[in-house]
Chains A and B, each alone.
Chain A
Amino acid sequence: MKYVIIGNGVAGVTAAETIRQHDASGDISMISDETFPPYCRPMISNFLEGAVPSEKLPIRGKDFYDKNRITPVLGSRAAFLDPDSCMVTTKDGRQLPYDRLLIACGADPRRLDAGGTELENIFFMRNINQVRQMIDALPQVKNALVLGGGLVGFKAAYSLLRRGVSVTMLIRSGYPLSMQVDETAGRMIREVLQSHGLTVRTGVSVEAFEGSGRVEKALMSDGNRTACDMAVIGKGVFPAHGFVPVDRIKTDAGILVDENMHTSASGIYAAGDVAEYFDLSRQKHWVNAIWPEAVSQGRVAGMNMAGHRISYRGSLSRNVIRMFDTDVMCAGRVSERDVDESCRTATAFDPRRNTYRKLVFEGNILVGFVMVNNVEQGGVLTSLVTSRMPVDISDRYLLDPGFNFSRFMRL
């Protein structure tokens, strides 16, 4: 049996290990354009912040490929996939035949439609090389401009603030993480960042970057120029399935998969940021490009590829963020965009503990929440969202900072 895995992110790595556990003899190849051993992508911001050294980023040892008897095909992306001949071709022309293929090549950052983006010190902050370059540039950086208040924008801004850089964040909505959290939590996050020196600007965008070689300033849509010696573009990501023949493999935003992580083409699976599967809180297909999803999906894909039919119950968007002394956790439908009149919400703000919680229900099913501080019990709420178990205890218990698992125990 020949297994080919495109991508050495955590979805691909987990799938490869799972396959190896269940199939000791099959050939496994992994394709990746990154030559660095498999590492933890979400931690690159901790690396930028200076909280974690680069040696801690790898999620597996240097012997990962050898130990699992995997043939690494590194330094080039998959460029062409032919489902008829069961063949993947890389950009540099290497051809890999497969019996089972996993597409786990993740997502690429969205480009910015502005002039001068080729200047130095303009980054996407998507991979470890970009962060290395950012760190190298730091000594010369006084003012950084962060475009976008999504996860990448937030993490870049936070890490740079921790490095003592003065950061200006440009966002469309009035607060960061507006796709993840509700307005109250978003404003709390903004206030924390502002109290540590962040400048937030709304309603303006960058027309062009200017500078000689290196970026020096940005021309804004209001005609003003802002000095910046570093810029981070965080305008979101899109699944990297450009090489996939969309007439043969069904795609939406991501590559559509069934409960076995199988695509519409025989023998081809997808997992991680590139895959689109049923979202438990939204009850429709959705791309949830987050680490724990990639791990779970990689495991399910690996099991199925190795011949064990197991099902994945569905994905869930969720995040946890620690910044300075404030913690935020969110899951499912809780942002303004995701909550509509079919939902019932319950909120509680406790000024004594500086905690905030919002729960979003559809009927008696919890479909989303956000919590600011006291996040230790968040996993209990997450499991309520994923299990879609009817909640029959009063909101006040779930909202209480002292809430704990035993509230579900009956005497």
Chain B
Amino acid sequence: MTHHNTQSITKDGQLLIKKMETDQVETVWDRHQAQQPQCGFCEMGLSCRICVMGPCRIDPFGEGPQQGVCGADADIIVARNLCRMIAAGAASHSDHGRDLVDVLEGVAENRAPGYEIRDLEKLKKVAAEYGVSTQGRETAEIAAELAAAMKQDYGTGKKEITLAARAPEKRQDLWRRFNIMPRGIDRETSEAMHRTHMGVDNDWQSLLLHGLRNALSDGWGGSMIATEVSDILFGTPQPSASKVNAGVLKQDQVNVVVHGHNPVVSEMVMEASRDPEIIKLAEAKGAKGINLCGVCCTGNELLMRHGIPMAGNHLMTELIIATGAVDMMIVDYQCIMPSLGRVAACYHTKMVSSSDKARFPGMEHVEFHPENAREKALEVVKSAVENYINRGSVFIPVEPLDSIGGFSVEAVLGALGGTPDPLIDAIKAGKIRGAAGIVGCNNPKIKHDYGHVTLTKRLIENDVLVVDTGCAAVANAKAGFKVNEAISYAGPGLKEVCGSLGIPPVLHFGSCVDNVRILVLASALADSLGTDISDLPLAGAAPEWYSEKAVAIGAYAVASGIYTVLGPMPPIAGSMNVVELLTKGLEQVAGAAFAVEPDPEKAALLIRRHIENRRGALGLDSADL
């Protein structure tokens, strides 16, 4: 028995959960319930499976074992586990970035048909940052050299990764002072695995510091490369209108849904879905066309750059299939629940996996590489069209909502007239109290989208500008916060500023790798004020986070000086030393720390307090909350 209104706040979510119950198909919520109670050792980070003298666990009550077989105590075990979570998250983003660099290299070498350099300006700008000369050179040459330079960042040939130079000087100095300036993207991840091996780093503080360095290698390295190269290859996003929620699926068209993270596959699928031959085939099958939609972050990538409609976030991925309207779902990697193949088997949906590093039960594997992506995309979309006639009954629960996406840093600065000054002036004048990045996943522990939407609502009504990415961005779009009229939800100051700029009070910044856009914008604001990111009236939140990637993001945000409020508790409660360090001690190191607050109403207050506090320190008017 399920309780749809305790599982999701979204109308489409509730109706589709109910449908899956009627259809007798298991959902992520059912599996979550079946897992209760979850292991307290693991929830507290007190279990260690690192070596086979173990596995070990520490009794939090102090009477049972207090040390693992190797002698590691609770502090060491918790710190090692957390460090490994960061390493896995950083590896995921960074490997995603590497795949884009491979495509960039393929374009340069003319062996990636269908891909091209769409933003030459950005190519040149980034190339300049990498010290690649652009004057009077062929695009392909620049691209080749940039790709090679980026690969250097992945390796061990450098003392500091290139894009760390984008951070304010003060921040860079701080990183050097605490010896957490990342040296190489893969190096830091690799070192994290080494340090956490039995018998290497057994000082919980130095383990955590390395965790921060590893996270920074993601935020200012792998993720940033992913975003920048995506912009170079597929265009830097500009604001454009789109539609969101399960209602974007169309009864009378072939619905192809892309799921995952990397635009390398979805961009080619988009091209294929526009192929006249295939559209003709779709019409021959009785469909009125091909409707490409996204879910999760690859959906965000397409929405940002092309206004492709967005069907839902992480917890919607099973539900979308239950509409019976999805003729094909093409996945690449990350956050793809292995249950999807089983769900699809209950409907007519054809599932296709596309990455050589990500395979799933119940999916057909069609491997995409830069060399064959265009051809493979045509092949799978054709097969999606052929599947249209196999549809059973279709239930599309709601009408789609309007939403504006596409706020890259370039686009935001464009809207401001080319400089961050109007934003800074609005902050100084107190019309906008500050800004918050609301990011991260969905988690069945938290009522679906409740954390994102409630927190966002409370912040904008108190004149805090919200930028969002990932699943949070989809939640807020579905809540109707991303149309210009949504300024009616905003407090008077924010309403005035957004109204005059013609932008929504909540800005869609992209996918989860696009959190780096927040870092870049924050750096621009700090530079403009001649200060550090940690001095800004700025905060981050991940109200419904679940993944290791989110741990890496949270860690690089804090290490970059952004106060970050987490919804679910990370597995650290087993060591009060680690808890103290992450929630208080880091303030002394990074000028920012974590907070854990599952109640978004309270989280909003924490963020507003932090923002007011920073305003006061900057000599701006500040309220006592």
Question: Chain A interface (Cβ within 8 Å of chain B)?
Answer: 348-352, 355, 396, 399-402
**Do A402 and B22 touch across chains, with their CB atoms under 8 A apart?**
no
How far is B6's CA from A399's CA once the two chains are assembled, in angstroms? 15
Closest CB in chain B relative to A79 CB, distance in Å: 55
Q: What would 22 A/B residue contacts be, using CB atoms closer than 8 Å? A: A348-B1, A349-B1, A350-B1, A350-B21, A351-B21, A351-B22, A351-B24, A352-B21, A352-B24, A352-B25, A352-B26, A352-B30, A355-B1, A396-B1, A396-B3, A396-B6, A399-B1, A400-B1, A401-B1, A402-B33, A402-B34, A402-B36
Residue of A nearest to B36 (CB): A402
Contacts of A355 in B (CB 8 A): 1
Residue of A nearest to B20 (CB): A352
Contacts of A351 in B (CB 8 A): 21-22, 24
Residue of A nearest to B37 (CB): A406
Instruction: Tell me the B1-59 residues at the A interface (CB within 8 Å).
Output: 1, 3, 6, 21-22, 24-26, 30, 33-34, 36
Q: Which of A351, A352, A355 has the most B CB atoms < 10 Å from its CB?
A: A352
How far is B285's CA from A247's CA once the two chains are assembled, in angstroms? 88
Residue of A nearest to B3 (CB): A396
How far is B22's CA from A396's CA once the two chains are assembled, in angstroms? 18
Contacts of B30 in A (CB 8 A): 352
Closest CB in chain B relative to A164 CB, distance in Å: 32
Chain B 275-306 interface mask (CB, 8 Å, partner A; 1/0): 00000000000000000000000000000000
How far is B22's CA from A349's CA once the two chains are assembled, in angstroms? 10
How far is B248's CA from A236's CA once the two chains are assembled, in angstroms? 61
Contacts of B36 in A (CB 8 A): 402
Residue of B nearest to A396 (CB): B3
Contacts of B26 in A (CB 8 A): 352
Instruction: Tell me the B399-447 residues at the A interface (CB within 8 Å).
Output: none
Residue of B nearest to A401 (CB): B1
Residue of A nearest to B27 (CB): A352
How far is B1's CA from A400's CA once the two chains are assembled, in angstroms? 6
Closest CB in chain A relative to B29 CB, distance in Å: 12
Contacts of A399 in B (CB 8 A): 1
Contacts of B33 in A (CB 8 A): 402
Contacts of B6 in A (CB 8 A): 396
Contacts of B1 in A (CB 8 A): 348-350, 355, 396, 399-401
Residue of B nearest to A349 (CB): B1
Closest CB in chain A relative to B305 CB, distance in Å: 40
Question: Chain B interface (Cβ within 8 Å of chain A)?
Answer: 1, 3, 6, 21-22, 24-26, 30, 33-34, 36
Closest CB in chain B relative to A401 CB, distance in Å: 7
Contacts of B34 in A (CB 8 A): 402
Closest CB in chain B relative to A73 CB, distance in Å: 55
Contacts of A349 in B (CB 8 A): 1
Instruction: List 13 extra interface pairs beyond A349-B1, A396-B3, A401-B1, CB under 8 A.
Output: A348-B1, A350-B1, A350-B21, A351-B22, A351-B24, A352-B24, A352-B26, A352-B30, A355-B1, A399-B1, A400-B1, A402-B34, A402-B36
Residue of A nearest to B26 (CB): A352
Residue of B nearest to A356 (CB): B1
Residue of A nearest to B6 (CB): A396
Residue of A nearest to B30 (CB): A352
How far is B36's CA from A400's CA once the two chains are assembled, in angstroms? 13
Closest CB in chain B relative to A244 CB, distance in Å: 49
How far is B26's CA from A348's CA once the two chains are assembled, in angstroms? 17
Q: What 5 A-B pairs come out closest when comparing CB atoms?
A: A348-B1, A350-B1, A352-B24, A351-B24, A396-B3
Closest CB in chain B relative to A18 CB, distance in Å: 42
Contacts of B25 in A (CB 8 A): 352
Contacts of B3 in A (CB 8 A): 396
Contacts of A400 in B (CB 8 A): 1
Residue of A nearest to B34 (CB): A402
How far is B4's CA from A348's CA once the two chains are assembled, in angstroms? 13
How far is B33's CA from A232's CA once the two chains are assembled, in angstroms? 46
How far is B24's CA from A400's CA once the two chains are assembled, in angstroms? 16
How far is B80's CA from A206's CA once the two chains are assembled, in angstroms? 79
Contacts of B22 in A (CB 8 A): 351
Contacts of B21 in A (CB 8 A): 350-352
Residue of A nearest to B2 (CB): A350
Residue of B nearest to A357 (CB): B1
How far is B3's CA from A349's CA once the two chains are assembled, in angstroms? 12
Closest CB in chain A relative to B15 CB, distance in Å: 16
How far is B34's CA from A86's CA once the two chains are assembled, in angstroms? 63
Closest CB in chain A relative to B420 CB, distance in Å: 48
How far is B509's CA from A325's CA once the two chains are assembled, in angstroms? 54
How far is B37's CA from A402's CA once the two chains are assembled, in angstroms? 11
Closest CB in chain A relative to B250 CB, distance in Å: 29
Closest CB in chain A relative to B33 CB, distance in Å: 6
Closest CB in chain A relative to B7 CB, distance in Å: 12
Closest CB in chain A relative to B312 CB, distance in Å: 22
Contacts of A350 in B (CB 8 A): 1, 21
Closest CB in chain B relative to A11 CB, distance in Å: 39
How far is B3's CA from A348's CA once the two chains are assembled, in angstroms? 10
Closest CB in chain B relative to A294 CB, distance in Å: 35
How far is B25's CA from A351's CA once the two chains are assembled, in angstroms? 10
How far is B1's CA from A351's CA once the two chains are assembled, in angstroms? 8
Residue of B nearest to A352 (CB): B24
Contacts of A401 in B (CB 8 A): 1
Q: Which of B1, B24, B25 has the most A CB atoms < 10 Å from its CB?
A: B1
How far is B22's CA from A400's CA once the two chains are assembled, in angstroms? 16
Closest CB in chain B relative to A374 CB, distance in Å: 11
Closest CB in chain B relative to A365 CB, distance in Å: 23
Closest CB in chain A relative to B319 CB, distance in Å: 15
Residue of A nearest to B24 (CB): A352
How far is B2's CA from A355's CA once the two chains are assembled, in angstroms? 12
Closest CB in chain B relative to A86 CB, distance in Å: 58
Contacts of B24 in A (CB 8 A): 351-352
How far is B6's CA from A134's CA once the two chains are assembled, in angstroms? 54
How far is B21's CA from A349's CA once the two chains are assembled, in angstroms? 10
Residue of B nearest to A347 (CB): B1
How far is B34's CA from A400's CA once the two chains are assembled, in angstroms? 11
How far is B25's CA from A316's CA once the two chains are assembled, in angstroms? 38
Q: Which of B3, B25, B34 has the most A CB atoms < 10 Å from its CB?
A: B3
Q: Which of B24, B25, B26, B34 has the most A CB atoms < 10 Å from its CB?
A: B24
Closest CB in chain A relative to B263 CB, distance in Å: 37
Closest CB in chain B relative to A347 CB, distance in Å: 10
How far is B36's CA from A402's CA once the two chains are assembled, in angstroms? 9
How far is B22's CA from A350's CA once the two chains are assembled, in angstroms? 8
Contacts of A352 in B (CB 8 A): 21, 24-26, 30
How far is B21's CA from A5's CA once the two chains are assembled, in angstroms? 56
How far is B29's CA from A407's CA once the two chains are assembled, in angstroms? 19
How far is B33's CA from A153's CA once the two chains are assembled, in angstroms? 40
Closest CB in chain A relative to B435 CB, distance in Å: 37
How far is B34's CA from A348's CA once the two chains are assembled, in angstroms? 18
Contacts of A348 in B (CB 8 A): 1
Closest CB in chain B relative to A188 CB, distance in Å: 16
How far is B21's CA from A401's CA once the two chains are assembled, in angstroms? 14
Contacts of A396 in B (CB 8 A): 1, 3, 6
Residue of B nearest to A399 (CB): B1
Closest CB in chain A relative to B44 CB, distance in Å: 15
How far is B21's CA from A348's CA once the two chains are assembled, in angstroms? 12
Residue of A nearest to B33 (CB): A402
How far is B26's CA from A351's CA once the two chains are assembled, in angstroms? 11
Closest CB in chain B relative to A348 CB, distance in Å: 4
How far is B2's CA from A396's CA once the two chains are assembled, in angstroms? 9
How far is B18's CA from A351's CA once the two chains are assembled, in angstroms? 11
Closest CB in chain A relative to B6 CB, distance in Å: 8
How far is B102's CA from A359's CA once the two chains are assembled, in angstroms? 62
Closest CB in chain B relative to A409 CB, distance in Å: 11
Closest CB in chain A relative to B154 CB, distance in Å: 47
How far is B30's CA from A352's CA once the two chains are assembled, in angstroms? 10
Closest CB in chain A relative to B549 CB, distance in Å: 31
How far is B164's CA from A189's CA once the two chains are assembled, in angstroms? 70
How far is B473's CA from A71's CA once the two chains are assembled, in angstroms? 84
Closest CB in chain B relative to A174 CB, distance in Å: 25
How far is B36's CA from A352's CA once the two chains are assembled, in angstroms? 19
How far is B466's CA from A166's CA once the two chains are assembled, in angstroms? 71
